[in-house]
């Protein structure tokens, strides 16, 4: 069975992408009703975690399939534009915001935004977010030509993600209701997350994953495939770490950052662990990397202490 699936993944990636998308749509339609049948904290938590696991498998397998779609840079750009158009259709809020910025009448903006209530558009929106991020990630991945550069990019991206989510533009954007809604338009929603939130007092499951996380995961896997690095181990390491990562929310008020969760540090960690043997550095370079890691960890710890002290 596994061998047959790998065969389809390699030779019929579009069929796999479509099949996985249909499965995700069915899961999303059934998730809320399933959780509502067991409206108690423990059952809702267990079911939501299982749904999160299935969602992560869907996303990662879709990304693996996208990395196997036969397309050059021009083809990837074409596919990116096609799915970007699909994203705008699936998220009418985005063209409504664009119309408002261009000075359209309020009635016109409201008319466009009204289409967001159509059933199923949220599911289609989640699918298109992954596809847009995927082909954009493939394009960016073409810039990485060697394994050592991948390690550097991974560490830098994780650091930027930490800053962006907690102290940068993403963190500031999500402080307002309008900003949260805008961020949601560029996120894939985990099936059953809204229903689970009604019954689980502490948010310890993922509710959505942003477009940036999917972009970098696809970039990583496209590079791993091209450089013949360890794709299988990276898949399972990323899946396992992302599944455990939401337990970070249990820290609650112990840490001021425990209300949000950047994905790239966890995704990057899984990528680095699974491919450590492929990174070849001199002794001096290893010392420099270690020193940089210690400095970054110290700065983050200091910032956390200062933020917590002033809350």
The answer on 40 and 6 residing in a single domain is: yes
**pLDDT for the residue numbered 220:** 95
Q: What is the pLDDT of residue 89?
A: 92
Q: What is the SS3 assignment for the chain?
A: CHHHHHHHHHHCHHHHHHHHHHHHHHHHHHHHHHHHCCCCHHHHHHHHHHHHHHHHHHHHHHHHHHCCCCCCHHHHHHHHHHHHHHHHHHCCHHHHHHHHHCCCCHHHHHHHHHHHHCCCHHHHHHHHHHHHHHHHHHHHHCCCCCHHHHHHHHHHHHHHHHHHHHCCHHHHHCCCHHHHHHHHHCEEECCCHHHHHCCCCCCCCCCEEEHHHHHHHHHHHHHHHHCCCCHHHHHHHHHHHHHHHHHHHHHHHHCCCCCCCCCHHHHHHHHHHHCHHHCCCCHHHHHHHHHHHHHHHHHHHHHHHHHHHCC
This model's pTM is above 0.85: yes
Same domain, 228 and 253: yes
Same domain, 208 and 257: yes
Q: What is the pLDDT of residue 64?
A: 96
What is the pLDDT, as a whole number, of residue 19?
Answer: 96
Looking at the structure, tell me whether residues 178 and 296 fall in a common domain: no
Q: What pLDDT, on the 0 to 100 scale, is given for residue 36?
A: 86
Q: Are residues 207 and 286 in the same domain?
A: no
pLDDT at 110: 82
Is 163 in the same domain as 219? yes
The answer on 300 and 223 residing in a single domain is no
Q: How many domains does the chain have?
A: 2
Which residue segment(s) compose the domain that 304 sits in?
282-311
Tell me, what's the pLDDT at 310? Answer: 56
Mean pLDDT by 10 residues, the chain (311 residues): 79 95 95 87 85 93 96 96 94 84 81 80 94 96 90 84 73 73 87 82 72 94 94 92 74 53 83 87 76 70 60 51
At 40 the pLDDT is 83
């Amino acid at each position: 069975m596994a061998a047959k699936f790998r065969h389809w993944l390699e030779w019929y990636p579009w069929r796999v992408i479509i099949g996985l998308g249909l499965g995700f749509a069915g899961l999303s339609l059934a998730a809320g009703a399933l959780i509502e049948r067991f409206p108690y904290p423990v059952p809702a938590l267990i079911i939501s975690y299982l749904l999160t696991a299935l969602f992560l498998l869907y996303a990662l397998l879709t990304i693996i399939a996208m990395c196997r779609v036969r397309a050059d840079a021009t083809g990837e750009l074409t596919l990116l534009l096609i799915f970007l158009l699909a994203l705008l259709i699936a998220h009418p809020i985005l063209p409504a915001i664009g119309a408002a910025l261009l000075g359209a009448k309020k009635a016109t903006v409201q008319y466009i935004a009204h289409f967001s209530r159509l059933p199923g558009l949220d599911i289609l929106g989640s699918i298109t977010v992954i596809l847009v991020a995927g082909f954009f990630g493939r394009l960016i991945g073409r810039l990485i030509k060697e394994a050592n550069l991948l390690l550097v990019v991974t560490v830098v991206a994780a650091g930027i993600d930490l800053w962006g989510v907690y102290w940068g533009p993403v963190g500031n954007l999500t402080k307002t209701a309008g900003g949260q809604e805008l961020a949601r338009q560029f996120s894939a929603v985990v099936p059953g997350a809204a229903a689970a939130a009604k019954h689980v007092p502490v948010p310890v499951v993922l509710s959505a994953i942003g477009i940036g996380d999917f972009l970098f995961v696809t970039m990583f896997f496209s590079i791993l495939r091209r450089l013949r690095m360890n794709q299988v181990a990276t898949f399972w390491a990323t899946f396992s770490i992302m599944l455990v990562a939401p337990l970070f929310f249990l820290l609650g008020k112990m840490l001021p950052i425990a209300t949000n969760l950047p994905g790239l540090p966890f995704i990057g960690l899984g990528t680095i662990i699974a491919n450590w043997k492929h990174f070849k550095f001199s002794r001096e370079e290893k010392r420099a990397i270690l020193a940089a890691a210690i400095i970054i960890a110290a700065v983050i710890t200091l910032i956390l202490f200062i933020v917590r002290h002033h809350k």
